[in-house]
A = this chain, B = another copy of it.
Amino acid sequence: MISGQHFIAGQWVGEPLPENAAFNPMQNTTLPWHFAEAGMDELALVTKEAQAAFLSYRHLPANQRADFLEQIAQELEHRRDSIVHTFVQESALAEARAQMELGRTCNQLRLFASELRHPEADCVVPAMPERQPLPRPALRLRKLPLGPVVVFAASNFPLAFSVAGGDTTAALAAGCPVIVKAHNAHPATSELAAQAIAAAAANTAMPKGVFALVHARQHAFSEALIQHPAIKAVAFTGSEQLGMHFQRLIWQRPQPIPFFGELGSQNPLFVLPGYLAQQGESFAQQLAQSVLNGCGQFCTRPALVFIPAGSTTLINLLQQYFSAAPAGAMLTPKIAAHYRHGCQELLQSHAARLLAQGQGNEEGCHTLPRLFISSLACFLTKAELQNEIFGPATVLIEYETTTQLQELALQLPGQLTATLFATEQEFAAQQALLQNLELLCGRMIFAQMPTGVEVCPAMQHGGPFPASTDSRFTAVGSRSIDRFLRPVCYQNFPE
Contact = CB atoms under 8 A, between A and B. Distances in A.
A73 B458 CA distance: 35
A460 B472 contact: no
A462 B441 CA distance: 29
A134 interface: yes
A263 to B, nearest CB: 12
B125 A448 contact: no
A487 interface: yes
A458 B141 contact: yes
Contacts of A438: 144, 488
A18 interface: no
B492 A452 contact: no
B494 A444 contact: no
Interface stretch (A205-213, A251-259, A375-383): A251-259
Interface string A440-456: 01111111100010101
A7 B443 CA distance: 36
B124 A458 contact: yes
Contact of A492 (B139, B248, B445): B445
B492 A448 contact: yes
A258 B472 contact: yes
The winner among A124, A139, A147, A247 for most chain B CB atoms within 10 A is A139
A141 B480 CA distance: 13
A234 to B, nearest CB: 14
Nearest first, the 9 closest Cβ-Cβ pairs linking A and B are A460-B489, A139-B458, A125-B458, A141-B458, A443-B489, A445-B491, A123-B458, A471-B486, A446-B492
Given A256-B465, A458-B489, 11 more contacts: A124-B458, A136-B456, A141-B459, A247-B256, A255-B464, A442-B487, A443-B488, A444-B493, A446-B493, A448-B492, A460-B488
Interface of A: 55, 59, 100, 123-125, 133-134, 136-137, 139-141, 144, 147, 247-248, 251, 255-256, 258, 414, 424, 427, 435, 438-439, 441-448, 452, 454, 456-460, 464-466, 469-472, 474, 479, 482, 485-494
